[in-house]
Structures are given as C-alpha cells and as structure tokens.
C-alpha cells in the first residue's frame, strides 16, 4: 500500500493531530501549509487527505470526514479574533486574513446574526498594522492571532470569535477536520490518525517545545492554548455545533446548499 498525500495545517493547533505521523512513511506523506491552501490542494487533487477548514466540506459532494477528530473549541478560542479600536456595533469595515476560510464564514454569520452590522470586508495579508490602516477592524487567525500582543496597542480590543459563537448559540465550534475523497482512506489510515491524535493530546509539552517559540511568554501562551482553548474531538456536541454552523452559513449566503456530514468507516 502506497502512502497517501496529506496536506496539514502548519498552525500550533494542528500539531496534536499530526503527532508522529511523519514517521509513518508507509501510510502518509505530509506537507504543511495554511488552511486555505490545504483546502485548495485537496480540491485540486494535489493531496489525498487534508486538514481543512470545516466550511470547505460543503464545497465538494465527494468528500468524507475522518470520524471523531477535529480542531474545536467551546467558548474562547484565542486564535481567531477581531482586533479593533471601535465597539463592535460601530465597525464599518473589516480586513480579513487571506489565509482564512471557516473564520471568514463565521465572521459573516456573526455580523449578520449576532453583531447586527453590515461591514465591508476586504481580503488582506495578515499584517495587523496594514489592516488597521485600511479598515476599522482586522480578522486574524492561527498563530498570528494567538501571539499578537494587542494589549500593547492603545485602545485595541480582541474580540474572540469562538467566544462570540458560543455566546450566540451555546454550542462548540468546529474549526477544521481531516477530509478526503470517498475512496482514499482505509481503516488503517483512520486508526493511525486517531492514534496520532491521542498521542498528541498526551504530549502537549513536547509539542510546544518543538515549536521553537520566541520567548517564555509565548511558551506559556502556547501551552495554555492547547490545554484550555482548543480540543480535538468530533462527537455529538461538536456535530451539533457543526450542523448549526452549516445552517447559518446557508442562511447568510456563505454556501449555496447544506450537506449532512458523511464519514469514513473506522
């Protein structure tokens, strides 16, 4: 059996899901990139399996989800946020991190159904200073959002989108999961991915240490983030949150149709 090609997200929150997979060269050949590029690689057939933004599942009818595994949060997520000097209700324009897919969809939902605003949205590279020169607020995701020291900028607030979602509907939010085409994964692949997730969750200190972060403050932030802000299950509560997200995405016009999640056999 040849190794399948895997596109994995390079952010800290994905590391527990790929823990040890690089050594299983008989099963996986892994390439790391940002979420939007992982989604595009899967869509274009350049990888067989991708850790992709959850909204991307609705882009293709032949996708299947690896069961029980996700990057999820309930309440504050810390790594997906609006940075703004204005009250949320006064925001008229938002610069959106070009790496985002699911966060962009969630932002549109929150603006329409929770914040009750209709800002202009501009796709930009994730540079906070440039983004805030053009717009009232900036949406950042991943490690950039996690490690941005917004407290050092006068009157700049961090509006956590995970926290806002849970406040709106009381459910977890599913940010990403493993997805491939219907005939790609065997039960051996699925079991290896589950084992990697379980090993990663038990090895958070080693994962943080391997990231070669800038200083001890970042080390503390990273460790607290993996322990308290994100988790890696896709069970009943997370599926309820995912279905609610898909319904809302359809309601606000992010996607043209809603599809029930379909899974690989384990």
* Whether 67 and 182 share a structural domain: yes
Residue 265 domain-assigned (yes or no)? no
Same domain? 147 vs 85:
yes
Task: Specify the pLDDT at position 67.
Answer: 97
| pTM of the predicted structure, to 2 decimals | 0.94
* Averaged pLDDT, 246-265: 93
In this structure, the answer to whether residues 64 and 185 fall within a common structural domain is yes
d(CA 182, CA 213): 38
259 falls within a domain: no
Query: Which residues pair with residue 73 across a beta bridge?
Result: 173
Q: Are 46 and 3 in contact (CB under 8 A)?
A: no
For range 97-126, the mean pLDDT = 96
Question: What per-residue confidence (pLDDT) applies to 264?
Answer: 93
- 8 and 140 belong to one structural domain: no
What percent of the chain lies above the pLDDT cut of 70?
98
Q: Is there a single domain that holds both residue 53 and residue 122?
A: no
Separation of alpha carbons 97 and 140, rounded Å: 5
pLDDT on residue 9:
87
Mean pLDDT rounded to a whole number for the chain: 93
CA distance 40 to 42: 5
Residues 214 and 233 in one domain: yes
List, for residues 131-163, the tens digit of each pLDDT value: 999 999 999 999 999 988 755 555 789 999 999
CA-to-CA distance for 182 and 261, rounded, in angstroms?
Answer: 12
Local confidence band at 62 (pLDDT 50, 70, 90 cut-offs): confident
Smallest CA-to-CA distance from 84 within 22, 154, 157 is with 157
Q: Please state, in angstroms and rounded to a whole number, the distance separating the CA atoms of residues 242 and 234.
A: 9
Among 169, 184, 218, give the residue marking a domain's end: 169
Q: What is the CA radius of gyration of the chain?
A: 18
Distance, in Å, from the CA atom of 209 to the CA atom of 104, rounded to the nearest integer, reads: 30
- Assign 60 a pLDDT band (cuts: 50, 70, 90): confident
Which one of 148, 169, 190 terminates a domain? 169
In a domain, 257, yes or no: no
Q: What is the pLDDT of residue 151?
A: 52
Helical H segments across the chain, by residue range:
35-43, 102-110, 128-134, 142-147, 161-169, 187-201, 204-210, 216-224, 236-251
Residues 207-231, mean pLDDT to the nearest whole number? 92
CATH (domain of 240): 3.40.190.10
Q: Determine, yes or no, domain membership for 258.
A: no
The whole-angstrom separation of Cα 73 and Cα 232 is 8
| Domain-embedded: residue 260 | no
Find out whether 70 and 232 touch, Cβ atoms under 8 Å.
yes
Domain that holds residue 88: 80-169
**214 within some domain:** yes
**190 & 63 share domain:** yes
Q: Domain check: are 58 and 84 in the same one?
A: no
Coil, helix or strand at residue 49: strand
CA torsion, ordered 43, 48, 54, 60, to nearest 10 deg: 40
Count of other CB atoms within 10 angstroms of residue 26: 11
Say yes or no: 66 and 185 in one domain.
Answer: yes
In a domain, 264, yes or no: no
Statement to judge: residues 31 and 108 lie in one domain: no
Domains identified in the chain, total number:
2
Residue 143, both tokens = 């490690």
Domain stop point among 169, 195, 226: 169
* Domain match, 215 and 184 both: yes
Residue 43 lies in a domain: yes
Same domain, 184 and 59: yes
């Amino acid at each position: 059996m040849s190794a399948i090609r895997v596109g994995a997200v390079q952010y800290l929150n994905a590391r527990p899901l790929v823990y040890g997979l690089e050594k299983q060269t008989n099963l996986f050949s892994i390439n790391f990139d940002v979420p939007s590029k992982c989604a595009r690689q899967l869509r274009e057939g350049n990888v067989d399996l991708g850790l992709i933004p959850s909204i991307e599942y609705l882009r293709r009818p032949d996708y299947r989800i690896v069961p029980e595994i996700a990057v999820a949060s309930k309440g504050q997520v810390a790594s997906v946020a609006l940075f703004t000097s204005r009250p949320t209700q006064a925001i008229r324009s938002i610069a959106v991190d070009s790496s985002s897919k699911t966060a962009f969809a969630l932002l549109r939902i929150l603006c329409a159904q929770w914040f009750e605003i209709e800002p202009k949205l501009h796709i930009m590279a994730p540079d906070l200073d440039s983004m805030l020169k053009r717009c009232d607020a900036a949406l950042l995701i991943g490690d950039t959002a996690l490690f941005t020291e917004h407290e050092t900028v006068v009157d700049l607030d961090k509006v956590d989108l995970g926290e806002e979602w849970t406040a709106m509907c009381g459910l977890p939010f599913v940010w990403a999961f493993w997805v491939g085409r219907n005939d790609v994964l065997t039960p051996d692949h699925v079991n290896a991915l589950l084992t990697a997730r379980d090993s990663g969750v038990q090895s958070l200190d080693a994962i943080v240490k391997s990231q070669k972060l800038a200083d001890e403050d970042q080390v503390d932030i990273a460790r607290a983030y993996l322990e308290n802000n994100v988790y890696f299950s896709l069970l009943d509560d997370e599926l309820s949150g995912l279905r609610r997200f898909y319904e809302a995405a359809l309601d606000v016009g992010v996607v043209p149709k809603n599809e029930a999640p379909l899974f690989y056999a384990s």
